[in-house]
Structure 1
């Protein structure tokens, strides 16, 4: 069979995805095409014709996307910072908004860089390991610890960590654990310079996209009636892990930024509490700094 125009296949795919209600049909059609032919999306124009087998594979992936299988599951990976991590069934897909949290974390670490003392970082609810691995790649002299409760997600994190270590990045220390557990990682008490967390935070019963409802692990998405069942106890753990001057950033639902900020302000060991917005102007993550010991905080009450 003769070769076929890729451009026409992309137009057909765009129409199929639009009819299925996919939010960004043209972009998804192009990303899947680039994945199938093995080029950057911006170079699709350099591939005018492809074999019939390629078209068949492409149409199969488009059909899956039309059923609202996540795009990242179909391509097998997602980029965050300067790294790509593998994702698939059983692990939460990192969102573009988390790039903002990563940017804040890297800027904070770089501003406090001390070549004589490696900075200690924790990534809580690491999922695929995306944040931890992006930090380890950008700052190879940091000591990065990552915690995940779900064994399926942790398996993805280990796979990604092994891949990044083979590529020459600093290894990340992975742990299976509950970030709300008061006894978790007691050996790190008072030693951590920075904590990042993208925990479950969607209020139970909230309406979510079909991809989230049918494919993201529920335990990585929902967190009680107000979305704070994980964040509330996690704040207390952060207080004991952080050294004086250490900082934390926690991603949250766009409906409870003020509540998360108040959780930090109510603990007197924290100061410099700030809310950060995403690119659409919605509250996305809260940052705070540990400014006092528990004894000092008690004297302030």
Structure 2
């Protein structure tokens, strides 16, 4: 069987299993087995028996809806590559928009000739904190994660970057930074408990539930966050928070109802769905 035939059959196998991007995943896994970049797959004529067996085993796991990133061991997030695996939430492409917003705010501070202090709550793999530090090296970046397993992944991803990482609860984290933070980001758990069945198997069965579910309406973590951000931010500081696509009105309304924020605005992702909110602490 040629490599092209192998890729085609693999994609059909993944499609039948309900994988959302079967062609791409089939190619990613084959490239991983062969140790090649995706762009070089077209040059491959065939695979060895050993390579074929390794590929088949990975396809079995992906068809069982194990996350692609767990099989590869990495996830690309903006301009960085993160180590991921069991025990940590796999960063999604949608979250890159929130990270990009934080990068823009940090750069704005730099244009005013001062260091921007950024705090990332519920950091998980460290994705947002790592991206901000990578793109704005002058930023003073801090991150916190509650789950010890996820914290170990964040330690690995943030080692040597200059990001300060702590193990702790976002509800009480960074008391020593109160009133000094310019930009606060968070991708908190926001899935309602009643939405269990609607969550993709890759997330429901493999991501930590602590990173997914947040009470009956999915807003419990956001309520805590709205209070904590008001403590940590300096007057005029910004907060950016990811939320579920069905929370495009309820999440901003929650922040506005505190009376502590201005310029509360919701933002859509590239598919046009409500994805994250931003707000500014009143001066």
State the TM-score, normalized to the length of structure 1.
Answer: 0.90
Aligned partner (choices 85, 103, 107) of residue 106 of structure 1: 103
Higher mean Cα deviation, 57-66 or 31-40?
A: 31-40
- Name the count of aligned residue pairs: 281
Answer yes or no: is the 8 Å Cα contact 1:251–1:285 preserved in 2: yes
**1:115 offset after TM fit, Å?**
7.1
Structure 2: 5+ residue stretches without partners: none
The CA distance in 2 between the partners of 1:45 and 1:68, in whole Å, is: 26
The CA distance in 2 between the partners of 1:193 and 1:114, in whole Å, is: 14
- Work out whether 1:156 is the aligned partner of 2:153: yes
Report what 1:226 is aligned to: 217
Q: Deviations over 1:40-62 (max 9, x none)?
A: 22221122223221111111101
User: Map of 1:271-286 to 2, 5 A cutoff?
Assistant: 271-286=262-277
Q: Secondary structure at the match of 1:103?
A: helix
The CA distance in 1 between the partners of 2:142 and 2:171, in whole Å, is: 16
- Work out whether 1:66 is the aligned partner of 2:63: yes
Q: 1:50 to 1:244 in 2, by over 3 A?
A: same
Aligned partner (choices 128, 139, 151) of residue 142 of structure 1: 139
Answer yes or no: is the 8 Å Cα contact 1:190–1:241 preserved in 2: yes
User: Map of 1:128-207 to 2, 5 A cutoff?
Assistant: 128-162=125-159, 165=160, 170-181=161-172, 184-206=173-195, 207=198
The CA distance in 2 between the partners of 1:81 and 1:259, in whole Å, is: 28
**1:274 offset after TM fit, Å?**
0.5
The CA distance in 2 between the partners of 1:244 and 1:42, in whole Å, is: 48
Report what 1:45 is aligned to: 42
Report what 2:207 is aligned to: 216
Report what 1:76 is aligned to: 73
**1:16 offset after TM fit, Å?**
1.1
Aligned partner (choices 105, 123, 128) of residue 126 of structure 1: 123
Largest Rg, 1 or 2? 1
Answer yes or no: is the 8 Å Cα contact 1:180–1:230 preserved in 2: no
- Work out whether 1:266 is the aligned partner of 2:262: no
The CA distance in 2 between the partners of 1:140 and 1:89, in whole Å, is: 29
The CA distance in 2 between the partners of 1:40 and 1:105, in whole Å, is: 30
Answer yes or no: is the 8 Å Cα contact 1:145–1:172 preserved in 2: yes
Higher mean Cα deviation, 251-260 or 47-56?
A: 47-56
Q: Secondary structure at the match of 2:241?
A: strand
Q: Deviations over 1:68-93 (max 9, x none)?
A: 11101000110111101011001000
Q: Secondary structure at the match of 2:162?
A: coil
- Work out whether 1:290 is the aligned partner of 2:281: yes
CA RMSD, aligned part only? 1.3
Higher mean Cα deviation, 229-238 or 42-51?
A: 42-51
Q: Secondary structure at the match of 1:144?
A: strand
Answer yes or no: is the 8 Å Cα contact 2:109–2:115 preserved in 1: no
Q: Secondary structure at the match of 2:88?
A: coil
Q: Secondary structure at the match of 1:255?
A: helix
